[in-house]
Homo-oligomer: A and B are copies of this chain.
Amino acid sequence: MPKPKVFEKPSGVKDYLPKTVARLRRIEIQVLACMEQWGYRQIMTPTLEYYDTVGVTSSTSDKRLFKLLDHRGTTLVLRSDMTAPIARVVSSLLKDEPLPIRLAYHANVFRAFEEEAGRDAEFFQTGVELVGDASADADAEVIALATAALQAAGISEFKLALGHQGLLNGLLRESLEGQEEAQDQLKQCLLARDYVGYRYFIRNMGVPPEIQNKLEAILELRGGKEVCEKVASYTQDEETRAAVHNLCEIWEALEAYGVSDRMLIDLTMIGHFSYYTGMVFEAYSAQSGFPVASGGRYDNLLQRFERPAPATGFALKTTRILEILGPSVKEDEKRVLLVYDAAHRREAYARASELRSRQGYVVETYRADARETPEIEHTADGKASWSGRVYDEIVLMTDAARGGMGR
C-alpha cells in the first residue's frame, strides 16, 4: 500500500480556511443564541465514547462507526451523533435534575463512508434535545425551533416534511399483522423513496385487494391538515388511532406557532434513525437536494441508559448549510500593516496596541530593516498591496521613510 503524500488528508475530511471558518462560526453562534433563547443550554461531550454504551445505542449502522481500541483493549468509537451521548449525560451527570431537560449542542460527528460515495466522514451538527416531555406541544416546539434555527443560520426558503413513525408502523401492523418481514420490506422501500418498488411489492405479496388498496393509499397521504382527518378513517386499531390523534395535535400546535404553512404532512416519510417512535421531520432548502435539518421523537432511547423518559429533538446539518450559504457579508474590518525598523520598534508596537484596542481594527507588524522590503502598491479601490496581500492602510515607520508615515 503506498504511503499517503505529505500534503494529503484522509478521504471524507476537510480543512476549513479562514473565510469558511468565519461563516461557520457565525452560523454556530447565531443558531446557539436562538436555541438559548428557547431555554436550551449548551453542553459538550467527548469525541470518544465506549462502543458498548453509546456506540451500540446510536442509530448509526455498525460498519459506519469509526472504531479504535483503548490501552485496555476496550473498543471505543468516534461519536456518530449527539443524541445517544446526551441521553448518557441526562442519565448520569444530570440524573438529579428534574425533567423536562432542554439541551443544545454544536459538535462534529463521524461516519465512515465508502470512499466512492464522496460523503463527509466528519461534519458538524447543531441541535437540541428536549427530554421528559411526551406532549404534542413538545414535538411542535422542536419543529418550531428548527424553523427559527434555520432562519438564524441564514436559510429563509425551506419546507418541512412531517411524518409519524408510530402512525406508519400502526397502519402497516394493522394491514400485515404478524408479517414483520413484509412490514420491514415496505419500510425499506419508503426509506429509499422507491414507490415503484413499494407498489410492486404489495401487488405481489398475496394480500386481499382491500389491504392492497389500503397500503397503496398510504402513498397518497400527503398534504396539510386534511391528511390528519383523512387518515383517521383508515384505522380501527386503538394504538394507531392514538397516533393519528397525536399527529393532529402536533399540527394544531404548529398552526399556533405560525409555522404550518411551511409544513407538509407526508406519511411515507421515515426517519433515518431506528430509534424514532413518534413524529419525524426533515427540512429541505430550495438550494439543496439534501435535508438541511432532521429530527423526531424517540421515547425508548433513554431507558437504555436507565432513566426512562420520552424525548424529542432535531439537528441542523450545519456543514451542508455552510455549503449552500453564499459568502457572508464582510464585517466592518480595517486591516493595517505597520512596517518598522529597529529605531521605531517601540513606537510601532505602541501604535499597534493602540489601534488594536479600537473596534474592528486588525493590525499586523513587520520589521523591515536588514531584509528586503517589498514595494507598496496602491490598488484602484484606495487600498494598499504589499507582498501580494491587501491592507486598508500600510504605515511606514522607518528611517528610510524619512518624513515619516506614508501610505
The residues of A with any CB-CB pair to B shorter than 8 Å are 1, 3-11, 13-18, 21-22, 24-25, 36-39, 41-50, 52-53, 66-68, 70-74, 76, 78, 85, 88-89, 91-94, 97-98, 100, 102-103, 108, 110, 112, 114-115, 121-122, 133, 135, 137, 141, 144, 252-253, 256-258, 304-306, 335, 345-346, 349, 356, 361-367, 371, 387-389
Contact among B89, B305, B345 with A256 in the assembled complex (CB-CB below 8 Å) = B345
Q: What is the minimal beta-carbon distance from A141 to any residue of chain B, in angstroms?
A: 7
In this complex, the member of A39, A94, A306 whose beta carbon has the largest number of chain B beta carbons within 10 angstroms is: A39
Contacts of A13 in B (CB 8 A): 46-48
Please give me the residue from chain B that is nearest to A13 by CB atom.
B46
Contact among B8, B36, B364 with A102 in the assembled complex (CB-CB below 8 Å) = B364
A24 touches B46 (CB 8 A): no
B38 touches A121 (CB 8 A): no
A37 touches B361 (CB 8 A): yes
B8 touches A46 (CB 8 A): no
8 shortest interchain CB distances as A-B pairs: A13-B46, A18-B41, A39-B364, A7-B92, A68-B68, A16-B44, A98-B388, A137-B367
Q: What is the minimal beta-carbon distance from A210 to any residue of chain B, in angstroms?
A: 36
Contacts of A47 in B (CB 8 A): 13, 47, 78, 108, 110, 122
Q: What is the minimal beta-carbon distance from A58 to any residue of chain B, in angstroms?
A: 13
Contacts of A97 in B (CB 8 A): 388
Within the assembled complex, what's the spacing in Å between the Cα atoms of A371 and B39? 21
Contacts of A91 in B (CB 8 A): 6-7
Contacts of A50 in B (CB 8 A): 4, 8-10
Q: What is the minimal beta-carbon distance from A372 to any residue of chain B, in angstroms?
A: 13
A122 touches B349 (CB 8 A): no
Within the assembled complex, what's the spacing in Å between the Cα atoms of A234 and B25? 51
Q: What is the minimal beta-carbon distance from A140 to any residue of chain B, in angstroms?
A: 9
A363 touches B42 (CB 8 A): no
A305 touches B6 (CB 8 A): yes
B48 touches A88 (CB 8 A): no
Q: What is the minimal beta-carbon distance from A289 to any residue of chain B, in angstroms?
A: 25
B49 touches A9 (CB 8 A): yes
Contacts of A258 in B (CB 8 A): 349
Contacts of A257 in B (CB 8 A): 349
- 10 additional contacts (CB under 8 A) given A39-B335, A39-B364, A48-B121: A6-B88, A11-B70, A13-B46, A15-B89, A18-B103, A37-B363, A38-B356, A71-B115, A72-B115, A256-B346
Within the assembled complex, what's the spacing in Å between the Cα atoms of A363 and B137? 15
Contacts of A364 in B (CB 8 A): 38-39, 102
Contact among B14, B24, B43 with A21 in the assembled complex (CB-CB below 8 Å) = B43
B25 touches A42 (CB 8 A): yes
Given contacts A17-B43, A98-B388, A345-B256, whether A141 and B365 have CB atoms under 8 Å apart is yes
B389 touches A76 (CB 8 A): no
A68 touches B67 (CB 8 A): yes
Contact among B66, B253, B362 with A345 in the assembled complex (CB-CB below 8 Å) = B253
Q: What is the minimal beta-carbon distance from A245 to any residue of chain B, in angstroms?
A: 12
Contacts of A71 in B (CB 8 A): 112, 114-115
